[in-house]
């Protein structure tokens, strides 16, 4: 009487430098070393965003560090720091957060095990939010039109909250840190330190 599975996932191999990992070649990447240096959240990010579950996925230390610096330290980390610094300096209290509706396509991608595509949705939102800051420049607007600047900063915080909710399946600890910073209206400690 045990029901057979309706879906079976066949995944690719994890390779390094385009080759099967081998002690002889010397291309073995130890996940525990990566976690020790970068944190578990960074490894979760890499597997969710940089490696397709259905194909062979390449993980090398240089490639990992590039993705970490570009997308976590410089991307998400800087975005959170910029927005929350503006909020802390210019808003008298925390932004009243609105209910977040999870996009249907995001849920469908998880149902279909398309984790990489789901994470791409989150990173597109991060890019759009960064571009919106560059376009609106609320930090420059503060002297001439403080009310409009505060309105934009509140919108930035609300959009950052949505990103944090979408990040939860990939980076649960980071998502919680972002949400905590939003609730306290404070810039958090650096989420991801740049590595060289």
Domain boundaries, the chain: 14-184
Structure tokens at 160: 């950052």
pTM for the complete prediction? 0.88
Residue 15: beta bridge partners? Answer: 20, 58
Structure tokens at 151: 């309105």
What would the CATH number be for the domain defined by 14-184? 1.10.730.10
Q: Of 66, 50, 68, 49, whose CA–CA distance to 58 is shortest?
A: 50
When pLDDT is cut at 50, 70 and 90, the band that residue 20 belongs to is confident
Give percent of the chain above pLDDT 90.
Answer: 63
Distances in Å between the alpha carbon of 74 and those of 46, 70, 82, 182? Answer: 15, 5, 11, 20
**Is the distance from CB of 80 to CB of 175 less than 8 angstroms?**
no
| Residue 68 DSSP symbol | I
Return the H-helix or E-strand segment holding 145: none
* Chain segment 90-149, per-residue pLDDT in tens: 999 999 998 999 999 999 998 888 899 999 999 999 999 999 999 999 988 888 999 999
Rg, C-alpha atoms of the chain: 19
- Torsion 17-18-21-24 (CA) sign: negative
Q: What are phi and psi of 58, to 5 degrees?
A: -95, 125
């Amino acid at each position: 009487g045990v029901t057979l599975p309706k879906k079976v996932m066949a995944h690719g191999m994890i390779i390094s430098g385009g080759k099967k990992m081998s002690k002889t070649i010397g291309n073995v990447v130890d996940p525990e070393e990566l976690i020790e240096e970068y944190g578990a959240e960074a490894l979760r990010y890499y597997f969710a965003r940089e490696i397709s579950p259905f194909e062979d996925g390449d993980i090398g230390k240089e490639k990992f560090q590039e993705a970490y610096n570009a997308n976590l330290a410089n991307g998400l980390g800087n975005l959170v720091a910029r927005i929350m610094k503006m909020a802390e300096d210019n808003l008298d209290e925390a932004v009243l957060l609105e209910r977040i509706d999870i996009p249907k396509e995001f849920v469908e991608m998880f149902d279909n095990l398309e984790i990489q595509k789901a994470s791409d949705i989150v990173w597109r939102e991060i890019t759009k939010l960064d571009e919106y800051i560059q376009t609106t420049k609320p930090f420059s607007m503060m002297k001439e039109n403080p009310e409009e600047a505060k309105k934009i900063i509140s919108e930035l915080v609300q959009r950052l909250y949505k990103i944090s909710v979408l990040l939860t399946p990939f980076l649960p600890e980071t998502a919680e840190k972002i949400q905590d910073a939003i609730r306290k209206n404070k810039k958090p400690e650096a989420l991801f330190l740049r590595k060289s």
